[in-house]
Chain A
């Protein structure tokens, strides 16, 4: 980093990086462009699409006609519901592992991670059957639980690594000053843990929002989130480029924005701390 770089080198780097960046981003950029065009213009050649007049009508149509808002609400409930439920269960567990470690803590952590490696398709029918028996098929409650369970290992893991960074001496000092366990958690630990918890929530909302195996297989009309809503456009009669673009833009925009804030946590959360 400290190396002196000539302006010319920096210019070349910049041009190359911007070109590659725009190339990778292009498909997303293109659906954003198309979402502001009429259905007739959207299927024209790329240059004609660009010069065609802009319109907001697709966003109105998608919202009115195809129950976009219901799917959106389902996505919000599933993503935030599963993450908050996961947090409720993971915070005590991660706290205990970080501050009262025992010989088996490492094994338990690794075992929890290993459950994440279980291929979903291998347990598809059992879960499907249990959902039918319990009347959970196409219910938001059932999916909140499943999404919570598949992301629980990552939540525990991330919280554990964040809690580990809180110096234990501070907790001991609080204890010596007569703080009870309850006070220790509420007044000492929580304020220091909030940034780590926020990052954990952010990453897990993203993962749950984009989950597309269980949400596709366990929902029908009622509890389907945006992943399933978009997938329903793949049928031939649903081929409307501009409307599909508008629906897609709205489905990924909130997550793109959240994702920009969670780049660092992404590495931490998805590599389980194996890369620093």
Chain B
């Protein structure tokens, strides 16, 4: 049905988007790749104009052997893993609850989704000051109220605190997607199983969970991609201290704070490779669902 004429028109219409995204991807990526093989310390007089020294894979080797590398991998894994587990389990529970008939369902849903719409800097700052502050924070008041010593959340329990903040932000996302999946569940199948004598746990494990499996995978993959690059939450709360320096934050510090661009760029390439591994799985699911 498409004529030669409409084909070339279509190509012309797609051109701006394709060219812009191609440029957005290739130009900075090439530069990062280039810097990662160079000694580039702008604060010590290195500049593009004077030419940069080629150092081979030295930056890549130094990035993974530096004393902050493994702690940052650990912090990243704990935060991403912790948030995934919490949002998924609570998300399934919440979606299940919200799917039941109740009074004021619309309002409850809005209350649950609200944290997702708060900007990351607001969420982080509100939790840090109003809730986790060891003197005036809400938790400190509660702890003192029951006669306990207030906890210095962001220094004594820095990783759990960050997991709490980020989970609060992402729980609505997981809930909303799982709820969408719940609503497409075949109720008749459930009723048939019930009549055949399947109890609630059996129905959940053998009918509900398999139906949710794709939604769960999508939640895990999309959240992993976004969680690997959380930044504002750490920037506002701990600035990477108390063992909360994630891979993303470490690279940020190398590049902008200590201005070791070569080293930071090598870290950036690692981060890009890591994100791409997750993205490949996600793209496969999205691609399967796309009948273009």
Contact = CB atoms under 8 A, between A and B. Distances in A.
Genuine A/B complex: yes
Give the dominant DSSP class at A's interface: helix
Chain B interface mostly:
helix
A216 B125 contact: no
Contact of B276 (A117, A149, A274): A117
A46 B138 contact: yes
Contacts of B130: 27, 30-31, 34, 241, 245
A217 B235 CA distance: 11
B228 A119 contact: yes
Contact of B292 (A106, A127, A212): A106
Contact of B141 (A5, A45, A126): A45
A91 B134 CA distance: 51
Contacts of A45: 141, 144-145
A107 to B, nearest CB: 9
Contacts of B285: 274
A275 B101 contact: no
Contact of A100 (B2, B111, B177): B2
Contact of B112 (A20, A117, A230): A20
Interface string A1-41: 11101000010011011101110110110110010000000
Interface residues of B, number: 110
A273 B191 CA distance: 29
B279 A149 contact: no
A1 B101 CA distance: 8
Contacts of B279: 114, 117
Contact of A274 (B31, B119, B218): B218
A190 interface: no
Interface string A94-129: 011101111001101110111101111111111111
B18 interface: yes
Interface string B193-237: 000000000000000000000110010001001001101100111
B114 A46 contact: no
B289 A274 contact: yes
A237 to B, nearest CB: 13
A216 B231 contact: yes
A223 to B, nearest CB: 16
A14 B292 contact: no
Nearest to B225: A117
Contacts of B102: 10, 13-14, 17-18
Contact of B127 (A27, A110, A217): A27
A89 B177 CA distance: 29
Contact of A121 (B27, B171, B248): B248
A241 to B, nearest CB: 6
Contacts of B292: 97, 101, 105-106, 109
B111 A22 contact: yes
A209 B121 CA distance: 11
